[in-house]
């Protein structure tokens, strides 16, 4: 006993050294996940290799001064030019555009954390895989739009895709040490968002401000709206299919208002494992960084008596058709998940600009299933073209909606 305890301590120490100094690239560093990831990285003593964001010059400048990466990218060219001036006293290369983003993804590092929002993250993910980097993936739209090519490329390169999304991290944790064949079902939990229990009629006139009020999580605006429409759970179903190679028919969704049980796996013998914790994204972010080890994390410990009881309900598939729209998209396969994702991304932006109603988001996403799309050949250009065309189409349709 004593010997094995001592051995564990030595192993842990070795692991600690392994994490301390681990090089991390953060794409989407100024966002909700990105800023928490940098907090985690600092706590673990990681080295930040590269940072990337869209246009938040002020925050990325602060991050550069604090974490001293050798490369920083702002997608927006003007913002990148501004950043170059602001950090000219520091030895950091500043790039812009998709080329810059892909260069950051491929730059020398031990792990690329992709937390940009939207399918814009697809090409950098592929660039990181191409460079042979393991990926901690928060950017679910990457897998929704391009799961087939991402998973194939990762397999070919021997690269690990480690989930950051809390539900998928939970499943990933429950699967450790389990034989693949023994998995019967994945059960994704969903908070139900701010509109749990509401009817479609009640939701027609919901405002962006109301939809942005999530009961349990503080996140970027796109995913917060996705949670309100339950599109987030539909996207997560597709994400789970790709990450865990499970037939979507064997992926269930259950409403769990408290967001303490992050997801579950049912095995062949009807035994069910779950992962629990306070609703704090730092836990799954850190696990993706330290996997397969565990370290102290700067989050509250779970005290179940704080909650007293945990509740579970069946989802309302009639009001929140988004879940079945995504299920249908992945069942048809090919370019349809990319199309639904594109329609949803465009519709969420339109809703946030007050140009369409809340329920129009679900309607527009659903209409993407009716498009006549070509067979998918496995070429990324087809996904990019579908994305572009469906966004354009969604904006055009939105202009005809009477408000
Ligand atoms: P935020 O909106 O808070 O942050 C998005 C980040 O992406 C920002 O850093 C933004 O930069 C950057 N970004 C946007 N467009 C580009 C671009 N074209 N090039 C480079 N960077 C870009 O989003 P979240 O952090 O909430 O979410 C990020 C991803 O993680 C999403 O896919 C989401 O679904 C997923 N996720 C998030 C969770 C959460 O708790 N927030 C939980 C689970 C998954 P800038 O600030 O300059 O605009
Ligand atoms: Mg999630």
Residue 148 resides in a domain: yes
Ligand 1 atom nearest 140 alpha carbon: 32
The mean-pLDDT minimum among 14-23, 45-54, 99-108 falls in 14-23
163 lines ligand 1 (CB under 6 A): no
Ligand 1 atom nearest 60 alpha carbon: 47
**Cα–Cα distance for residue pair 4/29, rounded to 1 Å:** 40
**What's residue 18's pLDDT?**
55
Query: At CA 226, angle to CA 141 and CA 326, rounded to 5?
Result: 60
Phi then psi for 45, rounded to 5 degrees?
Answer: 80, 30
Single out the residue of 218, 231, 248 nearest to residue 315, CA to CA. Answer: 231
**What's residue 217's pLDDT?**
79
Residue 47 resides in a domain: yes
State whether 250 and 384 are in the same domain: no
| CB crowding 148-181: b at 16 or more within 10 Å, else e | bbbbebbeebebebbbbbbbbbbbbbbbeeeeee
Residue 149 resides in a domain: yes
Ligand 1 atom nearest 219 alpha carbon: 41
120 lines ligand 1 (CB under 6 A): yes
CATH label of the domain that carries residue 156:
3.40.50.720
Ligand 1 binding pocket mutation candidate from 33, 37, 162 (most atoms within 8 A of CB): 33
Calculate Rg over the CA atoms of the chain. 21
| CB crowding 75-98: b at 16 or more within 10 Å, else e | bbeebbebbbebbeeeebbbbbee
pLDDT of 116 above 60:
yes
Residue 368 resides in a domain: yes
State whether 21 and 140 are in the same domain: yes
Residue 293 resides in a domain: no
State whether 205 and 153 are in the same domain: no
Ligand 1 binding pocket mutation candidate from 38, 52, 53, 163 (most atoms within 8 A of CB): 53
State whether 55 and 194 are in the same domain: no
**What's residue 5's pLDDT?**
38
DSSP string, 152-203: HHHHHHT--EEE-SHHHHHHHHHHTT--GGGEEEEEEEE---TTTT--HHHH
Residue 290 resides in a domain: no
pLDDT band for position 215 (cuts 50, 70, 90): confident
State whether 9 and 154 are in the same domain: yes
State whether 146 and 182 are in the same domain: no
Across 90-98, average pLDDT: 98
Nearest CA to ligand 1 atom 42: 165
Residue 384 resides in a domain: yes
C-alpha distances in Å from residue 368, one per residue of 11, 121, 262, 326, 371: 52, 21, 30, 10, 5
| Domain encompassing residue 193 | 168-279+298-318
Ligand 1 atom nearest 74 alpha carbon: 20
Say if CB 161 and CB 138 are below 8 A apart: no
State whether 7 and 149 are in the same domain: yes
CATH label of the domain that carries residue 395:
1.10.1740.10
147 sits in which H/E element: helix 140-157
What is the overall mean pLDDT for the chain? 95
Instruction: Kindly list the strands in the beta sheet with 23-27, ordered across the sheet, starting from the edge strand earlier in the chain.
Output: 93-96, 71-74, 47-53, 23-27, 111-114, 134-137, 161-163
pLDDT band for position 216 (cuts 50, 70, 90): confident
For 18-38, the pLDDT digits (tens) are 588 999 999 999 999 999 999
For the whole prediction, is pTM greater than 0.75? yes
SS3 51: strand
Residue where a domain terminates, one of 139, 163, 187: 163
State whether 192 and 79 are in the same domain: no
State whether 59 and 118 are in the same domain: yes
CB count within 10 Å of CB 21 equals 12
C-alpha distances in Å from residue 343, one per residue of 165, 204, 319: 22, 19, 19
State whether 373 and 345 are in the same domain: yes
274 sits in which H/E element: strand 272-276
pLDDT of 208 above 90:
yes
pLDDT band for position 373 (cuts 50, 70, 90): very high
**What's residue 214's pLDDT?**
83
Residue 324 resides in a domain: no
Ligand 1: centre distance to CA 27 (Å)? 9
Ligand 1 binding pocket mutation candidate from 35, 37, 54 (most atoms within 8 A of CB): 54
**What's residue 8's pLDDT?**
39
**What's residue 6's pLDDT?**
39
Tell me how many domains the chain contains: 3
pLDDT band for position 388 (cuts 50, 70, 90): very high
**What's residue 16's pLDDT?**
43
Ligand 2: centre distance to CA 224 (Å)? 10
State whether 71 and 135 are in the same domain: yes
Ligand 1 atom nearest 222 alpha carbon: 2
pLDDT of 376 above 90:
yes
Ligand 1: centre distance to CA 93 (Å)? 22
pLDDT of 186 above 70:
yes
């Amino acid at each position: 006993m004593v010997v094995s305890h001592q051995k564990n301590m030595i192993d842990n120490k070795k692991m600690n050294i392994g994490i301390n100094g681990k090089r991390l690239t953060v794409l989407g560093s100024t966002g909700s996940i990105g800023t928490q990831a940098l907090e985690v990285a600092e706590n673990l003593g990681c080295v930040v290799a590269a940072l990337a964001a869209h246009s938040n010059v002020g925050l990325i400048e602060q991050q550069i001064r604090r974490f001293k990466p050798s490369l920083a990218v702002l997608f927006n060219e003007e913002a990148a030019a501004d950043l170059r001036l602001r950090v000219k006293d520091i030895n950091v290369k500043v790039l812009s555009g998709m080329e810059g983003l892909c260069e950051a993804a491929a730059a020398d590092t031990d792990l690329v954390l992709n937390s940009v929002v939207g399918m814009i993250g697809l090409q950098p993910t592929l660039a990181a895989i191409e460079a042979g980097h393991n990926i901690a993936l928060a950017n679910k739209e990457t897998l929704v739009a391009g799961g087939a090519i991402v998973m194939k490329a990762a397999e070919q390169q021997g690269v690990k895709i480690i989930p950051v999304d809390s539900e998928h991290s939970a499943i990933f944790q429950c699967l450790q040490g389990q034989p693949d064949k023994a998995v019967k079902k994945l059960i994704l939990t969903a908070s139900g968002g701010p509109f749990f229990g509401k009817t479609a009629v009640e939701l027609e006139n919901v405002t962006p401000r109301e939809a942005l009020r999530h009961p349990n999580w503080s996140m970027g605006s796109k995913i917060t709206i996705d949670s309100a429409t339950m599109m987030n759970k539909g996207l997560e179903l597709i994400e789970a299919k790709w990450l865990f190679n499970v037939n979507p028919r064997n992926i269930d969704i259950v409403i769990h208002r408290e967001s303490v049980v992050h997801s579950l796996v049912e095995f062949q013998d009807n035994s069910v494992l779950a992962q629990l914790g306070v609703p704090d994204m730092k836990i799954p972010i850190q696990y993706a960084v330290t996997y397969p080890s565990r370290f102290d994390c700067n989050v509250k410990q779970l005290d179940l008596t704080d909650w007293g009881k945990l509740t579970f309900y069946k989802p309302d598939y009639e009001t929140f058709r988004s879940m079945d729209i995504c299920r249908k998209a992945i069942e048809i396969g090919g370019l349809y998940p990319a199309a639904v994702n594109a329609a949803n991304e465009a519709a969420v932006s339109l809703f946030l600009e007050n140009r369409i109603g809340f329920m129009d988001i679900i309607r527009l996403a659903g209409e993407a299933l009716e498009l006549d799309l070509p067979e998918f050949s496995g070429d990324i250009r087809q996904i990019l073209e579908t994305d572009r065309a469906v966004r354009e189409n969604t904006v055009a349709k939105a202009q005809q909606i009477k408000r």
